[in-house]
Structure 1
Amino acid sequence: MTYSVADMPADCSSSLTPTEQYRIEVKNETDIAGWREEARTLLVNNIPPEQLDWTVRSRANNSQFDFGVAEPPKLSTAAGTSDFRVAKECLRLINTALLHRNEDRFDLAYRLLFRMRHAPKIYQNPADSDGKRLSAYAKSVRRDIHKMHAFVRFRKTGLRENREQFIAWFEPDHHIVEAVGPFFRNRFTGMDWIIVTPEASLSWDGKSLINGPGGCKQDVPTDDAVEQEWSTYYRNIFNPARLKTRAMKSEMPVKYWHNLPETALIPSLIKKSGAMVQQMMEKEEQQLVLGDEATVEHRTKPASLEALNAEMATHTRSISENSAVNAVFGEGHGMPASC
């Protein structure tokens, strides 16, 4: 994103009084393009963040603290006299952070951009409060996306025109449903599916990726044949010898468990893990003993070095063209000088 920022013209400075607050409204919680367009215009007109109150159209009328907040006057969109370029790295950071659930994210991102006019790399400063907070938002969003990739569980609902139909319920922490669309489309292209969340839904019919309104968990089936297969698979791959309960709960937080079919098995598997490990060790020891008995060969001691060399050559299994057949014996750390 490239745009220009200039000091506010003298004839425009009187149109905004420093004591007034102005509401800037975007269409919805994920209207990043709308926010960027508004931010570009505000920066061109040198509007300080202290005079702005960013909000979303869907919740604009629900606020109880709108007294004295007015729509800003029409601002100039013309380019100024100096260029202000934002690094792609910073844009990626902002685009990700704006999917966070905290309502101050639009104000925070604009404030950081406004300050970057005079300190372009301030977003990289770990000691800067705005940059640090925005980075924390982005990190939380990325983690939420990772969890949605990992913990969505589809349930089969039927068959239509030779294509299997699936549905899933998920409860993300942030506004990430639209962002994860390409991942699920590319991974589950061959089936029709719907992912329902409280805020939004996402569906794929083999041709189009469609964003829709949210729904209720009660509208999503609770079990099916695929769920039983998934539970069987999880039971079979469970390795009690590698069980680390704290690490497991860190990677698979308990708040997701009520939507995962395999988590119903976890308490019993953990309870039985000690006995399962003991059985595995006893079985392994038995296999080692049987293996030793089957491979032990009783040989007599060779009478000479020539006999030992002949025996070693006989037991050589694989010899390449450039390898010697006979073993070479010697003493000490180095080869004889004659060699």
Structure 2
Amino acid sequence: MNISTVPKDFIINAPVEIRGNVISNFLLHGLSIKNDTDETIVIKNITFGLYTADVLVKQIGYQGKALENALKDFAEKCTWLGEGFGAKLFLGKEGFFTPSHFAKTVTLAPNEETGIFNEYFTIVYDTAIDKLLVNISYTTADEIFTQEWQLEITEYHNKNQYIFPLKGTICTCGNFNSLLDHRQHYSMEFAIDMAQYNSEQKLAFKEDMKEEDYIVYGKDILAIADGEIVDCYHSFFMTSSWDWEERRPYMEKYGLAAQCGNYVVIKHANDEYSFYGHLIKDSLTVKKGDKVKQGEVIGKVGHTGLSNCPHLHFQLMDGPDFLSSKGLPCSFINIKDVTGSNIGFIEEDNIIVHAE
């Protein structure tokens, strides 16, 4: 039996300390189980062991009816995860799963496979979780076997100091604490959407609002640190439809721009990359190969690509490719919360921050 995971090497934890305890919060994007033997196998249980300093803190498992239902749901609902844009967006690559080989039960014939998609973990303990041990028990020819797969769970610390990409008082949403928003996508796990309320604390404050009616529309976007422009797109002209069939022709013609609108990717020191999406058409002040300084204007907040209202989509990554790069947490050195206290990493979804 062959086991593989996304990510394959380590998972980034976003622990929060509260009242002497630590809340560990992390996500396994994909678990693949393939029968690469010549015998039929029957999966008996899938167990996740959560460790800190080699101490087993908690076990979470699928077995019995829960296992049967989970694998049946996976086979029926995840057929789109094999190839194409969706596979790359959610798993960072194509070919991790082979839907044509999915088994709909716990029984896997030779060359069949099953798996789990987006398994979330939130654990309260004295210290942060630092290891995930996947244990799979199965039978073949009336013999019981077990197989393990281990992943490091690590807290990520930025290698550079970053400023917030917008100035003023900004509402943030869709961050990692919003389980079914950006987080379920591979590179967007720690992405943030940024918009702005009016003086009455409203985002939409009148009927039939035009793009320019939104407070954030046209606002300057700043480079979060010194770097080099390694990718950008400036001429996408529309807000994409949320209906996949309507969006497909634009995806085929314009690629990533149909998803993210006009965008900029900056390479910073120590192989960290920032991404800025949904910019106004032709508002970019930079081009590929340009060097930028921290705080330099690179474009203006818009409403292009897959966008429900004018806003800035921002994320940090470990590479330049929006689809295949691992998403990274990003802390900022110049933001305060609504009480005026300095904060770095935005832990909660739907909070307001102020950047000088």
TM-score (normalizing by structure 1): 0.24
Q: Which structure shows the bigger proportion of residues in strand conformation?
A: 2
Q: Which structure shows the bigger proportion of residues in helix conformation?
A: 1
TM-score (normalizing by structure 2): 0.23
